[in-house]
């Protein structure tokens, strides 16, 4: 079994033989790079598909951006997120800041699951981005109606910390790094090198896999996006 670094390096070698853009920018985390591309106006009309099991990416979902979570074989967009959670993607990170995330060792407000949050703060399903101050204002107004409101007010610093950690920082990508990202996408080579891809597959013992569907799709990308390669 090869180690993770070898696997990641080898994956890059495979992708170098396909007409796919790979982006790595010093000083920009992958999550924030993905967030920038999803939210930048230059890519507004592009169809974006994020492949990740990380719920943090739900905050990026909209009519043009979907999240595919392979472990659960789940496809999420604005409609399915609203149906499942009754919380709009714009407010999902806020709701998660309240309930916390055990997988990331971020404790939340006791007794506050996503279903409870959606019920007690129904405005979170609106297509409007609310803030922690909005949550606290509502909680103080209803302080004696349900225990959760008091708990939220008491744990407000915990919620603020969770929110800072969970919120993608794509808005903070510098102008210089934005230029690098856009230049990397615009200047990417349109390459489909089947022989080199097949050679790597043979070296790694994957020749029993039929790559024809993959190559067919990659050829379509070349035709659609690289006229000089037709």
Q: Which residues contact 36 (CB under 8 A, 6 or more apart)?
A: 28, 170, 173, 178, 181
Supply the pTM of this predicted model.
0.82
Element (H, E) at 51: strand 48-51
Gap between the Cα atoms of 9 and 200, Å rounded: 12
230: confidence class by pLDDT, cuts 50, 70, 90:
very low
Greater confidence (230 vs 219) lies with: 219
Answer whether residue 142 shows pLDDT above 50: yes
> What does the pLDDT read at residue 17?
95
> What does the pLDDT read at residue 148?
93
Q: Alpha helix (H) ranges present in the chain?
A: 4-15, 30-39, 78-85, 92-99, 114-120, 132-141, 147-154, 156-166, 175-186, 194-203, 212-225
Gap between the Cα atoms of 135 and 221, Å rounded: 45
Share of the chain above pLDDT 70, in %: 97
């Amino acid at each position: 079994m090869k180690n993770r670094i070898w696997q990641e390096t080898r994956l890059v070698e495979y992708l170098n033989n396909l007409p796919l853009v790979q982006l790595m920018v010093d000083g920009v985390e992958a999550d924030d790079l993905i967030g920038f591309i999803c939210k930048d106006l230059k890519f507004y009309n592009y169809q974006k598909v994020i492949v990740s099991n990380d719920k943090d990416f739900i905050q990026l979902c909209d009519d043009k951006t979907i999240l595919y979570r392979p472990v659960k074989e789940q496809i999420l967009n604005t409609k399915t997120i609203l149906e499942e959670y009754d919380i709009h993607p714009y407010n999902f990170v806020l709701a998660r800041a309240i309930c916390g995330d055990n997988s990331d060792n971020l404790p939340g407000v006791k007794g506050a699951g996503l279903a409870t949050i959606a019920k007690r703060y129904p405005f979170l399903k609106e297509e409007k981005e609310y803030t922690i101050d909005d949550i606290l204002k509502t909680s103080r107004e209803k302080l004696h109606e349900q225990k959760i409101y008091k708990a939220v007010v008491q744990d407000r610093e915990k919620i603020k910390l969770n929110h800072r950690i969970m919120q993608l920082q794509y808005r903070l990508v510098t102008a210089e790094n934005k230029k690098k990202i856009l230049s990397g996408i615009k200047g990417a080579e349109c390459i489909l090198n089947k022989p080199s891809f097949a050679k790597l597959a043979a070296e790694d013992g994957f020749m029993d896999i039929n790559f024809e569907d993959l190559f067919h799709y990659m050829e379509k990308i070349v035709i659609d996006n690289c006229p000089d390669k037709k």
